[in-house]
Amino acid sequence: MVGAARRVHALLLAAGAGSRMGFVPKPLIEVDGQPLWQRLLLAARQAGAQEAVVVLGHHAERLAASIAQWPAQERPQAVTNPQPGPDPTDSLHLGLAAIAQQGPWPERLLVLLADQPGLQAAHLRAALDAFDQRPAGAQALVPTVQGQPGHPIVLDAQGCATLHARGRGGVKAWRREHPEQVATWAAHALAHVQDLDEPADLAALTAATGQRLSLPPSGKP
């Protein structure tokens, strides 16, 4: 169970360009009137996260303006990746560096992508509970659905330190090189692997769930 004594943090990777979506800032896509970044961080808070870091990149100014509308005491720390690549690995390490500066590593870190609209607090709590049942020696947990890896990835303090010390490369490479340190969890909810890449994904999600989705304006020059 997630209790007040456990330090749970969230790391939200939101630096992508959204090129396949028409250069739309995907974290600002609204689901039932709520931007995705806010929806995910509220779910993380309900799952026990006391603090959060958001990594911005493309569309940083627009995302920062949206975050600034939250009450000051509830805002996540925002850091900007000046040159985000197509893979979120560089943003992952930038976020870990920001967390390292805050003090001791959290006991649990939820690593989230900012374009997964189906993830709710119950999914995040289930991932934390599965992490608590992980094999001995594992420092990280990756949910999988029918063999497809998803999110949130969960790290303990040692896992945060190990990944941070690697300096580059993501959890996939870490798992390949040290499978005993990265466990997998066979999840059943498709929300763990569903994301929004193309405009057709919005229509598919609406048809499947009845949720109202709306796109912000494109950020393409």
pLDDT values of the chain reduced to their tens digit, one per residue, 221 residues: 333 357 999 999 999 999 999 999 999 999 988 999 999 999 999 999 999 999 999 999 999 999 999 999 889 999 999 999 888 999 999 999 999 998 899 999 999 999 999 999 999 999 999 999 999 999 999 999 999 999 999 999 999 999 999 988 899 999 999 999 999 999 999 999 999 999 888 888 888 888 888 888 776 54
Q: What is the pLDDT of residue 4?
A: 39
Query: What's the pLDDT score for residue 205?
Result: 84
Residue 1's pLDDT is: 35
Q: Give the chain's radius of gyration (CA, Å).
A: 16
The pLDDT, as a whole number, for residue 208 is 82
> CA-CA distances (angstroms) from residue 202 to 20, 187, 214, 220?
13, 23, 8, 19
Residue type, 39: R
What integer pLDDT is reported at residue 219 of this predicted model? 66
Domain borders along the chain are 8-214
Nearest CA to 112 out of 37, 50, 184 is that of 37
Q: Is 8-214 CATH 3.60.21.10?
A: no
- 108 DSSP β-pair partners: 8
| Strand 140-145, strand 153-155: pairing | antiparallel
